[in-house]
Every structure is written in C-alpha cells, then in structure tokens.
C-alpha cells in the first residue's frame, strides 16, 4: 500500500508539473504573438503613411495638371474670341466703306436716264419748235424732281409761312400789304429737307 501511494503521489506531482509547464509555454506563446503583432503593426504604419503621401502627391499632380489644362483651354478660347472680334471689326469696316462708296449708286443710276434725256433735248433743233422744246424740258424737270422726291427730298414751305429760323434764312425785310408782319413775303431760293433733315434752308424776304 505504501508503494502504491508513493507511485500515485509521484504521478500526481508529474502531472501538476506538466500542467504548469504547459501554462508557462502557452503564456509565453501568447506574449510572443502579441509582440509579433505589435511589431508587425509598427512596421506597417510607415508603409501606410508613405502610401498616403504618395496618393496625396498623385492627387496634387493631377489637380495641377487639370488646372494647367483649364488655363490653357481658357487662353485658347480667349485668343479665338479675339481673332473672331478682329475679323468682325474688319468686316464691319469694309461694309461701312462700301456703304459710303456706293450709297448714291441707286439714285445716280436713276439720274442717268434723266441725263440721257437732257442730251437728246440739247441735240435737237429747238428753233423750229420752241413750244415743244419747253414742254420737253418741263417733262425732264418733272422726271428729275420725281427721282429726288422718291429719295426723300421735300421742298421747304416758305411763301406765306411764319418765319422759322430753323427752316428759313432771312436775307432782308420788306413792307408788304399782302402778308402780315413776320411772314415770308418772297422766296429768293427754295429750301429742301432730306428725310426730315434740313439740308438747305429757304432764302427768303420777311415782311416787316
């Protein structure tokens, strides 16, 4: 009995020792794993920081590239608009010059027919038919007046009208029984307006 108890005691002691050794190994393994994880995280942090810096640098470079591209496009658009504006100014200047050069083309073309009629009248012998000649000249005059009237020419009303310094040019005054004071009593030279603008006032005599 004594030997069996001793054996059992030795076995129990051996199991207890083995259990303690296992606990110690497990604790050491856990500590080592924790240290390894900590070291691994510390090693990974610089890489993550470097990666973030690289990403930030790439984003900044891309932003700068887009900004430069936008500025370049803006400059190109500005230059194109400037070129179009310069072409527009040249075109308008040419059109304006053409208007000045050919503004009277229409009326001159119509006056050419009247000029032809004058030449025909002057080429005929008016000594045999004075009345016919005078009638022909009257027709030419009416034709000329018609062309000018169609172009906006209007005779200024003067005789018997109240004197208007904007429309009449008084060169003298005279006593008149026919017209009241400050009325135009005679017209020395007709005045005209063109499209409502006075281009020549009437030269008149005004009653005292």
Q: Which H or E run contains 207?
A: strand 202-207
Q: Are 171 and 203 in contact (CB under 8 A)?
A: yes
| pLDDT digits 0-9 by tens, 90-146 | 999 988 888 877 778 888 899 999 999 999 988 887 777 888 888 999 999 999 999
Q: How many CB atoms lie within 10 A of CB 158?
A: 25
Q: What value does the mean pLDDT take over residues 68-83? A: 79
DSSP structure string for 161-204: SBP-TTTEEEEEEE--SSS-TTBEEEEEE--EEETTEEEE-EEE
Report the range of poorest mean pLDDT among 32-36, 39-43, 111-115, 130-134: 39-43
Instruction: List 169's β-bridge partners, or say none.
Output: 203
Structural domain spans, the chain: 55-102, 104-151, 154-208
Model pTM? 0.53
Asked if the 154-208 domain carries CATH number 2.30.22.10, the reply is yes
155 versus 43: which is more confidently predicted? 155
Helices and strands of the chain, counted as H and E runs: 3, 6
Nearby residues of 137 by Cβ (< 8 Å), 6 or more positions away: 121
Q: Is 32 left (phi over 0), alpha (psi -120 to 50) or beta?
A: alpha
- Other Cβ atoms closer than 10 A to 43: 9
How far is 37 from 173, CA to CA, in rounded Å?
124
For residue 154, give every residue at least 6 positions away whose Cβ sits within 8 Å of its Cβ, in sequence order, or none.
192, 193, 194
How far apart are alpha carbons 144 and 150 in whole angstroms? Answer: 10
């Amino acid at each position: 009995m004594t030997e069996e108890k001793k054996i059992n005691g030795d076995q129990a002691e051996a199991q207890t020792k083995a259990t303690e050794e296992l606990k110690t190994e497990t604790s050491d393994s856990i500590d080592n794993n924790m240290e390894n994880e900590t070291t691994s995280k510390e090693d990974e942090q610089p890489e993550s920081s470097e990666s973030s810096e690289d990403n930030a640098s790439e984003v900044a470079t891309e932003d700068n590239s887009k900004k430069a591209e936008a500025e370049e496009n803006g400059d190109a658009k500005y230059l194109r608009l400037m070129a179009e504006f310069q072409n527009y100014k040249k075109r308008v200047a040419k059109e304006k010059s053409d208007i000045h050069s050919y503004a009277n083309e229409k009326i001159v073309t119509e006056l050419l027919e009247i000029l032809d009629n004058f030449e025909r009248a002057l080429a005929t012998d008016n000594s045999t038919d004075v009345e016919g000649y005078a009638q022909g000249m009257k027709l030419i005059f009416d034709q000329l007046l018609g062309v000018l009237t169609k172009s906006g020419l209007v005779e200024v009303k003067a005789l018997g009208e109240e004197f208007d310094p904007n429309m009449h040019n008084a060169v003298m005054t005279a006593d008149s029984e026919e017209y009241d004071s400050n009325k135009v009593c005679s017209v020395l030279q007709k005045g005209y307006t063109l499209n409502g603008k006075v281009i020549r006032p009437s030269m008149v005599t005004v009653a005292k």
